[in-house]
């Protein structure tokens, strides 16, 4: 089977290269926004969706036109790729997978991609990469790239430039080393509880850094916008954000690697994490209920990174020959694993499960995990209605593509 994997490295650019990379990222953002504005305008005038090919023709006009001659200085392929990004955003919106595309803002995920391996050269022996209109640039080659190069994305984050190189290689369809199956219940008090009774402690990296972050944000708001001190304060806020992100990624990667190595089948609840963490405040017409409590929960959910946890489990299990099964979440926390009785009365407190029929008692999260595992077995054995999910077949390319060092 083909494995697509991304390898991300920090770049060591010269001052001039940094300057150019900022300009290129800005040009891509400009093209994306201009195309989005055009698309909207065209729609309001009753026109049909403008496809990539037609839009790319406009790009050529913009590059050769008198209004934006500086677009000509940026490499053309990343600019075209920005149009592809927009088209994909529209497709996701049409398929109801995502919200309507938004205009990009400066300083938010500045990046540009060279979509074809012919457009760059990676010299691993000397730890450098050649990028069009930028020339050779040093990079911190922390590990070798494996496979055939596919594309390269340059991005800016927390004051540093990175390049993420995607490569594809043929790997033997793996046979799982482990033979066991496990159910996992994700929660707030415990990040994840396993059906064998063990659990992962909550990931509170965000909470721990929250006070520091708030202080830094307050300090930034007191500075005159765009002054030197404001820029310094802003860089500090971004560093704290990056730190939180790194700690969370590290924790999740370690956890999901261990789980996918030790189990051949992993069952989880098919929770719509995206819906759960959607803005609790609601809109002006329809204000949300329990905003305070929900925003706390939202933050916890985002903090815990359940969605990321599940995504990583999906592709890592596929890499190890294992299987991730998402089961319907109804009543997993209210069903007695001993007698099968379903009642809200079984779950009087958040932490404890006590069956009103047979008196069975256990930790509520463990009971949830046991029920999830049982349901997963039924799904695997006789196809009980469930989304057989996110394992080898359904999202490998995209999941793997997102993987970074």
Q: How many residues bind Zn ion (CB under 5 A)?
A: 8
Residue with tokens 């309507």: 100
What's the closest the beta carbon of residue 189 comes to Zn ion, in angstroms?
A: 23
185 labelled catalytic: yes
What's the closest the beta carbon of residue 195 comes to Zn ion, in angstroms?
A: 17
What's the closest the beta carbon of residue 338 comes to Zn ion, in angstroms?
A: 4
Q: How many helices (H) and strands (E) does the chain have?
A: 10, 14
What's the closest the beta carbon of residue 325 comes to Zn ion, in angstroms?
A: 24
**Is the separation of the CB atoms in 10 and 161 below 8 Å?**
yes
Site string for Zn ion, 77-116 (x = CB under 5 A): ----------------------------------------
Complex with Zn ion: residue 12 or 354, whichever CB lies closer: 354
Q: Which residues pair with 143 in a beta bridge?
A: none
CA–CA dist 269, 278 (Å, integer): 18
Q: Which 349-378 residues touch Zn ion, going by CB under 5 A?
A: 355, 357-358, 360
Cα four-point dihedral sign 13, 141, 84, 38: negative
CA–CA dist 211, 207 (Å, integer): 8
Q: Which residues pair with 138 in a beta bridge?
A: 12, 128
Residue choice 267, 336, 370, 372 for contact with Zn ion (CB under 5 A):
336
Stretch that binds Zn ion, among 68-76, 203-211, 220-228, 333-341 (CB under 5 A): 333-341
Q: In 45-149, which residue ranges form alpha helices assigned H by DSSP?
A: 52-64, 76-94
Complex with Zn ion: residue 273 or 355, whichever CB lies closer: 355
Complex with Zn ion: residue 65 or 345, whichever CB lies closer: 345
* 356 three-class SS: coil
87 labelled catalytic: no
What's the closest the beta carbon of residue 357 comes to Zn ion, in angstroms?
A: 5
Widest CA span in the chain:
80
Stretch that binds Zn ion, among 21-29, 278-286, 337-345, 391-399 (CB under 5 A): 337-345
Count Cβ atoms within 10 A of the Cβ of residue 306 and give its class: 0-12 exposed, 13-18 middle, 19 or more buried: buried
Q: Which 160-179 residues touch Zn ion, going by CB under 5 A?
A: none
Residue with tokens 């065209």: 42
Choice among 85, 87, 110, 185 that is catalytic: 185
Quick one: residue 29, left, alpha or beta (phi over 0 = left, psi -120 to 50 = alpha)?
Answer: alpha
Choice among 269, 270, 303, 395 that is catalytic: 269
Complex with Zn ion: residue 1 or 358, whichever CB lies closer: 358
What's the closest the beta carbon of residue 378 comes to Zn ion, in angstroms?
A: 18
341 contacts Zn ion (rule: CB under 5 A) = yes
357 labelled catalytic: no
Choice among 20, 270, 365, 395 that is catalytic: 365
Residues 6+ apart with CB under 8 A from 130: 120, 121, 122, 123, 136, 137
Complex with Zn ion: residue 235 or 339, whichever CB lies closer: 339
Complex with Zn ion: residue 37 or 358, whichever CB lies closer: 358
Complex with Zn ion: residue 308 or 357, whichever CB lies closer: 357
Stretch that binds Zn ion, among 100-108, 170-178, 330-338, 390-398 (CB under 5 A): 330-338
307 to 190, 303, 311, 395: CA distances (angstroms): 15, 10, 6, 14
What's the closest the beta carbon of residue 374 comes to Zn ion, in angstroms?
A: 14
CA–CA dist 208, 361 (Å, integer): 34
Residue 41 is encoded by which pair of tokens? 């305008």
| Listed residue (256, 87, 284) closest to 184, CA to CA | 256
Catalytic residues: 185, 269, 365
> By the criterion CB under 5 A, which residues form the site for Zn ion?
336, 338-339, 341, 355, 357-358, 360
């Amino acid at each position: 089977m083909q494995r697509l994997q991304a390898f991300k490295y920090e770049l060591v650019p010269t001052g001039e290269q940094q300057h150019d990379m900022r300009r290129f990222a800005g040009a891509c953002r400009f093209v994306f926004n201009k195309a989005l504005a055009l698309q909207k305008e065209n729609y309001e005038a009753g026109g049909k969706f403008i496809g990539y090919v037609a839009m790319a023709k406009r790009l050529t006009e913009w590059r050769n036109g008198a209004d934006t001659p500086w677009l000509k200085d940026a490499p053309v392929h990343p600019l075209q790729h920005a149009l592809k990004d927009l088209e994909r955003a529209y497709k996701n919106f049409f398929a109801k997978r995502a919200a309507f595309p938004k205009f990009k803002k400066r300083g938010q995920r500045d990046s540009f991609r060279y979509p074809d391996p012919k457009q760059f050269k990676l010299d691993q022996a000397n730890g450098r990469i050649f990028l069009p209109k930028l020339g050779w640039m040093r990079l911190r080659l922390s590990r070798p790239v494996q496979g055939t190069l596919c594309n390269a994305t340059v991005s800016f984050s927390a004051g540093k430039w990175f390049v993420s190189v995607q490569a594809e290689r043929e790997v033997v369809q793996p046979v799982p080393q482990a033979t066991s199956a496990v159910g996992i219940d994700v929660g707030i008090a415990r990040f994840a509880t396993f059906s064998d009774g063990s659990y992962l402690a909550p990931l509170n990296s965000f909470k721990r850094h929250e006070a520091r972050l708030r202080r830094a944000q307050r300090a930034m708001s007191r500075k005159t916008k765009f002054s030197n001190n404001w820029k310094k304060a802003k860089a500090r806020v971004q560093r704290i954000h990056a730190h939180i992100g790194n700690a969370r990624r590290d924790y999740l990667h370690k956890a999901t690697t261990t789980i996918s190595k030790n189990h051949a089948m992993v069952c989880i609840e098919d929770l719509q994490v995206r819906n759960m963490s959607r803005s609790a405040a609601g809109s002006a017409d329809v204000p949300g209920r329990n905003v305070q409590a929900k925003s706390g929960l939202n933050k916890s959910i985002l903090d815990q990174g359940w969605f990321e946890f599940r995504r990583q489990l999906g592709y890592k299990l596929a890499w190890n020959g294992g299987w991730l099964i998402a089961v319907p979440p109804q009543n997993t926390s209210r069903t007695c694993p001993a007698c099968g009785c379903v009642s809200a009365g079984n779950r009087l407190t958040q932490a404890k499960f006590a069956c009103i029929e047979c008196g069975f008692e256990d930790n509520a999260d463990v009971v949830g995990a046991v029920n999830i595992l049982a349901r997963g077995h039924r799904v695997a054995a006789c196809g009980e209605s469930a989304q057989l999910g996110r394992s080898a077949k359904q999202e490998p390319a995209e999941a793997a593509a997102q993987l970074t060092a």
